[in-house]
Amino acid sequence: DGRKLVDTYETVFGVRTCEFTSDRGFLLNGKPLKLKGFCLHQDDASLGTALPLRSMERKLEICKEYGVNAIRCSHNQPSPEFLDLCDRMGFVVIDEAFDKWKSGYYAQYFDAWWQEDLKNMLVRDRNHPSVVLWSIGNELQEAWDGSDTGCRRAAMLQDFVHEFEPSRQVCLAAQNRHNEKFSGVTDVVGYNYLEARMLSDHKKFPERRFLVTEELPYYCGAEGNIRSYDTNNPWNIIAENDFIAGGFLWTGTDYIGEAGWPSHGWPAGLFDICMVEKPRAAFHRAMWNDEPMVRIAVRDNALDIDHGRDLWQWPNMGAIWNFPRAYEGLVIEVNTTTNCERVALFHNGNEMGVRRTADYPNHTITWCLPYRRGTLVAKGINGTDTVAVHEIRTAGDAVRLKTTADRGKLMADGQDLSYVQVELLDKDGTLVQHADRHVKASIKGEGRLVGFISSDLRRKTPFTSHEDKTYFGRAMAIVQSTRKAGTIRLRFDVEGWDEPVWVELTSEALPKDYVSDIPSFR
């Protein structure tokens, strides 16, 4: 004002171009990029939804290693810190304003608040280069309206976005049996579980821009019959068609919510609530990465797996070779999922054959063999070279507890976290998945125990409890620093064992000139 400085605004920004097209899919800096996406909720087991920075960073690190390059925030805007991390770590993001419009919980607020709520998202997040698409709604009741009410409402919201923040396109996510005129309103249309219909609609409306906003992890629906349970994985359709921008799996991870008794959450993610990759997630790892890999999973309906709702299930399978005595000699199905040309399978040292991946659907080779205790080894082969190996073996009794902290040093800021995984091992170091034990955790020193959890969402104790039973041999403690530097000693008492297991962490004071590299934490 005159010569007086009255206001300063500082922002981090990125330089890039992004565009969704009707024929080449998504273009980043002018080049096609197939979106390998997860739908994510902002929650983390014992931490609830008010998450420290490290919680979000850890989840994204694990997603990135798995091959994820895109996140759909479902079905609300994430914290600004989450978008800061996506900017820095190289994800692209669908930022979503609403789940419903004039139905469900938001119906009573829509008329008075939609502009303010939508504007808040656009103003807050518009400088994040990771955001490449604004979503104005998900599975809206208006999509079934035979009149033009829904189309007018969608156009109203899109026009508002275009006027207020014109640098990005707008999408909505359409559900089963939606009116085709409704899905033609927005710049981009997301289809939830409707890959078969998308192929038909592309022929009818070649000018439309498509992506799969919710993708099933295993089964695929036929056009007009979403519950046909076709075993051709939906990703195959996405990968084979250039016009489809990509797909977002529902969901990337298990989460607390949308529960069906006796579960306390959604158990059909590719990762469990401890962010441990499930054996069933091997297909997308194989499809989303160039690094050679092979994984073994044994199919058995008797495995104690929280199966979740029908459409989102996989066949029951686990990377386990421990079964009851009655299974001896019983022929069971073994799957080897790979991105290699061929797989050789060995059972107790005996070669069971070498099979071509191309001869089997979903890059998953099927083997049938009688159960005998011992080892299964799968070797992935390209050309004449063995380029990947995976082994599972029969475990004995659990005799020790292996502990692995993702970080041994924490910042003494009252926020930082260390995730300490515990595993039951036998005398040979094999994970014991068939005989779980009750474990109690406690802590001393400059840290607090946020929770001790297994990945079983059917637990009978609160998520903030400090004790739980391992699940398939694993559990996890979440430790948070205090604001004082010092030593943190974590103790685990295992059911039936006389001696506890100790883990020592350290908490270090922040330098006096410390500035976070996450802008919203400064």
Condensed to tens digits (0 to 9), the pLDDT of residues 390-427 reads: 999 999 999 999 999 999 999 999 999 999 999 999 99
Q: Which of 341, 347, 345, 385 is nearest to 363 (CA)?
A: 341
Residue 518 has pLDDT above 60, yes or no: yes
Residue 92 has pLDDT above 90, yes or no: yes
Number of helices (H) and strands (E), helices first, in the chain? 7, 30
Query: SS3 for 323?
Result: coil
Cβ–Cβ under 8 Å, residues 227 and 221 = yes
Return the structure tokens found at 66: 């798995």
- What's the CATH code, domain 400-508? 2.60.40.10
Return the structure tokens found at 69: 């390059």
Residues in contact with 470: Cβ distance below 8 Å, sequence separation at least 6, in sequence order: 422, 424, 436, 437, 439, 454
Cut 0.85: pTM above it: yes
| Cα maximum dimension of the chain | 89
Q: Is the dihedral of CA 427, 429, 434, 439 positive or negative?
A: positive
E strand map for 142-266: 169-174, 188-192, 210-215, 220-222, 225-230, 244-249
**For tokens 């592309």, what's the residue?**
202
Q: Which fold has domain 18-277?
A: TIM Barrel (3.20.20)
E strand map for 446-500: 447-453, 467-469, 474-481, 486-494
Q: Which of 393, 391, 389, 368 is nearest to 379 (CA)?
A: 389
Q: In terms of C-beta density within 10 A (0-12 exposed, 13-18 middle, 19 or more buried), how is residue 180 classed? A: middle
Residues in contact with 198: Cβ distance below 8 Å, sequence separation at least 6, in sequence order: 191, 210, 212, 237, 244
Over residues 300-310, the pLDDT tens digits come to 999 999 999 99
State the Cα angle at 479 between 478 and 482, rounded to 5°.
Answer: 150
Other CB atoms within 10 A of residue 291 CB: 10
What are the residue ranges spanned by the domains of the chain?
18-277, 291-393, 400-508
Same CATH fold assignment for domains 291-393 and 400-508: yes
Residue 493 has pLDDT above 70, yes or no: yes
Q: What is the mean pLDDT of residues 500-518?
A: 87
Residue 516 has pLDDT above 80, yes or no: no
d(CA 206, CA 201): 8
Residue 515 has pLDDT above 80, yes or no: no
- Facing residues of 133 across strands? 94, 169
Residues in contact with 413: Cβ distance below 8 Å, sequence separation at least 6, in sequence order: 481, 483, 510
- Facing residues of 261 across strands? none
Cα separations (Å) of 77 from 119, 189, 489? 12, 19, 37
Q: Could you tell me whether strands 400-405 and 294-299 are parallel, antiparallel, or unpaired per DSSP bridges?
A: unpaired
Average pLDDT value for the chain: 96
Residues in contact with 420: Cβ distance below 8 Å, sequence separation at least 6, in sequence order: 403, 404, 405, 406, 476, 477, 478, 479, 490, 503, 505
Query: 291-393 belongs to which CATH class?
Result: mainly beta
Q: What is the mean pLDDT of residues 483-498?
A: 97
pLDDT of 377 reads: 98
Q: Which of 240, 243, 183, 180 is nearest to 211 (CA)?
A: 243
d(CA 146, CA 166): 30
Residue 13 has pLDDT above 90, yes or no: no
Cα separations (Å) of 248 from 16, 92, 207, 217? 22, 12, 22, 10
Residue 522 has pLDDT above 60, yes or no: no
| Residue 141 identity | Q
Band (pLDDT 50/70/90 cuts) for residue 372 is very high
**Backbone phi, psi, residue 16, to 5°:** -170, 160
d(CA 330, CA 338): 25
Q: What is the mean pLDDT of residues 196-219?
A: 98
Q: In terms of C-beta density within 10 A (0-12 exposed, 13-18 middle, 19 or more buried), how is residue 415 classed? A: middle
pLDDT of 511 reads: 84
Over residues 320-343, the pLDDT tens digits come to 999 999 999 999 999 999 999 999
pLDDT of 520 reads: 64
Band (pLDDT 50/70/90 cuts) for residue 4 is very high
State the Cα angle at 370 between 368 and 375, rounded to 5°.
Answer: 95
Cα separations (Å) of 32 from 25, 91, 246? 7, 15, 10
